[in-house]
Each structure stands twice: as structure tokens, then as C-alpha cells.
Structure 1
């Protein structure tokens, strides 16, 4: 997308007219130098368009006003007497001839003097003209060199302005990126702090596990020793188991015989249990009789105490 122009047509026309008033032909780089903004190609295109439209007139009008002053001397006719007029004419005629000769001589002398003076002054003027022409040529060459230098500087300045604009855009992008990176950096720093805490906790856990591992190694050593002892014991136990198996076979045989006897004992026990149950019933009944007798004894002793006032043992007849 094209960027908007940094100058107006009114400013361009005003600067162009100033350059024309100085007797120069306006150019894009000159207007760029005076305005201090805009692109040379854009300014040159607008200048050519305004010239074609007639809004800028390329002319160098120099007018020299040569004033002309004419003095007219009018002679007045004076009315004089006739004799005086004739005498005046004679004297005027003589004086006119004398004055004419005198004026001619003076003119000749004056012409010679002014010819010499003019010749001298013309020589000086020619010399001054040659010096002025040489000075003008040198000044024109210097002016062209200056114009080329200024034009190059303006073009370089325009390039620098474009580069500066691009750098400003890049700077804005980098600032935006820097903001994002700062946010990311803060986030990473927070994550780093969290990880440091977790690492510290893990280190503590690792230290505890190392302690437990050391204890476990010690326990493992003890258990290894015990295992070796157990292996030795197992070997002994295997030997004993072999012996026990042999004894077990003998015991099984004996157990079979014992089981037979046990069955007979169970039958006898059942008979004994039935007898015990019968005896238990008799015992309960006797116990109840004893309890009844005790209550009867207490009753009798109470009556006896009431009658005799003495507390003596009383014999009960069953």
C-alpha cells in the first residue's frame, strides 16, 4: 500500500515559484532540498504535471525600464524696436559665426579628449568584461558542481530516509517481538523458579532415598548373610526332611492304627457324653433342691429369731 504524500501541491507551487523568481528552472531535487520531505521522483512527476496544467509557468521575465527624459526649450519672441532688432541681428550673426567657430574648435578638442578617454575606458571595460566572463564561467562550473553535489546529497538523503523508515518499521516489529520475548522470558523464569523448587524437593527426596538406600544396603548385607545361613540351614533341613519323611511313613501307619482306636474312643466318648448329660440333669435338679432348702432355712431362722430373740443355727430335716 502506497504511503500518503508528505507535502501539498500548494507547497510545491510556492517553492517552484520561488526558484523561478531567482531565475532558475525548478527541479525535483531542488524542491526536495527546500521542503525537506517527499520523494524526488514523486516531486518531479507532480512538477511536470503542474507545468503541463499551466499552474506553474516556466519563464524568466526580466524587464529593464529605460526612462527617457526630453527637455524642450521654447524661446519667447520679445517685441523690440526695429533699429535694435537690426543691430541685434548683425551682432547675432557675428557672434553666431564666432561661437560656431569656437564651438567647432572646442568640439574637436573635446572629441579628441573623449576619444582617448573612451579608448582607455573601452580597454578597461573589455578587460573587466573578460574577467567577468571568466568569473561567470568559473561560477557556472562551480554552481553545476554544487548542484550535482547537492542533488547527490538529496538523493542519498532520500535513500537514507527510506532506509530509516524501513528500520523504524523493523524497530516496531522488534519492539513487539521484544515484548513477546519479555513475556515469554518472564514465563520461563517463573517456570525455572518452579523447577528450582521441584528440583530442591527432588534433591531432598533423593537424599532421603540415599539414606534409605544406605540402610537398605546394610540390611541387604545382613539379609545376604542371613540368606547364606538360611541356605545352610535349608540344606540341613532337607536332610532332616528326608528323615522326617521316613518317620512320616512310619507315623502314617501308626496313625491308621490310632484312627481305628480313635473311632472306638469316639464311640466310648459319645456313651460317656450321654451319661454325663444324665448326670448333669441330676446335678441341676439337686442344685435346685439345695437352693430351695437354703431359702427354707433362711425362712426358718427368721421365724426362730422372732420367737426367741436369739440367732442360732437351725437344723432342717431333709
Structure 2
């Protein structure tokens, strides 16, 4: 079978979100000599390719749980193979990956969270509520429970918790009860079946004003299936500990739950631990991090027009200014 034209690959067509800003924020930590960056959510390698091109002495460690994404990113980054380590891993495995590579500290970590373009565009993965497919939603399709396992196997209370906590769905209990009644007749197997059920469960008034009735439920199921928030909760302190003084962390989040976790982690790092009321900073009690963004930065209208998936992005970044 002949090789594909590189320009026809999904990786080549992928548009990285806020690429210029990511390059600008990470640049000072990666310039001026050899540096190591962890792209902990490699995806199709768009950010990674630009960073490797911009910094000839950069070594990149790319992590992704999706074997297909790793393969495509590897082809995209083939010209930099001598400066890359691509690893099949979830991003909360970052400490173990660095230990295997005998790397104590890095100069930057990039986290581009959420579902990737590859996963959204692959109809058979079941991430999209606009196209019918099996209810899968696994970022690594080789392991773990599927979305069908969740909707058919969780109790009403468990399912309502997932929809409420991860989808911020105000009709969580109503949807969970409707799912339970439906699966008594036959299990839910496809995204179309679930979408039809949600049209029945979500009140018509909310459907007219609250966007697509499946949006929050599909988000919640995806987060549950992939353990995304648990992984993010673990990786943030691990990544911040791994970054050397002068190094930087850049995180792109796509919904409020992720963004709040990133905000808290960076704010805690930038907080003084000197007891209130003391006139001077106690040695070793000052902030270890400096915030590089004022609040969460968003994509401008021009970028959203070029890349509609940038519409919900929230970017935060920080620089390590002191050792632990």
C-alpha cells in the first residue's frame, strides 16, 4: 500500500489552538540552549512541530493515550525524530515517564486538554452527538469501559452524579431516570439512540435556549469514561514539581471544570506562605510561581473563524521562580 501524501494526513490538516500564543509563552524557557519540553497531550503534534521548528536545541517528550494519534504525530514529527520521545501514556503518568527517561527536571510542560480533533472527526469513536456511532468515547480504544458501559451499568444516582458534576447538567436526575427506564427495554448502544432520548428528557423550553440537549451529557460521559479530571488533578502538581526554575507551564482548557482546577493550582503556586501580618517574607516561604496570564485568555474572533474549535478555549500559564 503506497504511503499517503504527508499533506493529506489529518495531522497536516490539523490547526493547533492559540499556536502563536503558546509559542510566545514557552519561548523564553526554551531558548538559549538545550531544553526539554513535555507535550503531555501530543494529539496530532501541531504545537509540538512548531516548537521543535522554533527551537533547534529542544528535546520533546510527547505523551498521548491514543495509539492512532501517536502514530500520526510520529509521522508528522519524523524530521525531528532524533529530538523526540513519543510515549503511549496518560498525562498523569508524567513522573513515571520522566523517571524511565532519566530526566529530573524539564523546562516546560504543555497541556492541551479535552478531546482531540482526531477523536472528534473519527465517526466510529462516538465522541460526537451529531453523527451516529457506537457509544464508545474512549481516548484509548484498547482499554477501559465505554460510554455504553456507563449509561447501561451505572445506577440512577451514579449516572446523575456524573451528568451533574462533569456536565454541569441541571436536568441530570431527570435524564438518568429516563435512561434507566429506556434500558429496561433494551440497552443503549449508539449515539443516535442517546441523542433521541435526550430530546425526550430535556424540556423543550431549555432546548430552545440552552444549546444542543446532548452537549453536556456527552461531555460528562467522555470525562467519566477517560477519567479526565482525576488525571488532571494528579498531573498539575506533578508537572509543576518537574519544571525547573525559569521553566513554564501552559495549559489550554475547554470547559469550566478544567479551567477552575488549573486556576487553583497556579494560584496556589503563586501564593506566599509567610504568615499574614509579618513585615517581611520568611526565607523559603515566598511564591514559587509567577502568573503569566491575567485570568484566562481566550481566542479572538479571527482565530475562532479560522478554527471554530478554539471558541471555548481558556489559556493559563505560569513561570517557576523558586525551587521547592
Q: TM-score range by the shorter chain?
A: under 0.3
* TM-score of the pair, normalised by structure 2: 0.18
Q: Which has the higher strand share?
A: 2
Q: Which has the larger Rg?
A: 1
TM-score, normalising length from structure 1?
0.18
Between Structure 1 and Structure 2, the one with more helix by share is 1
**Relative contact order, higher structure (CA 8 A, sep 6+):** 2
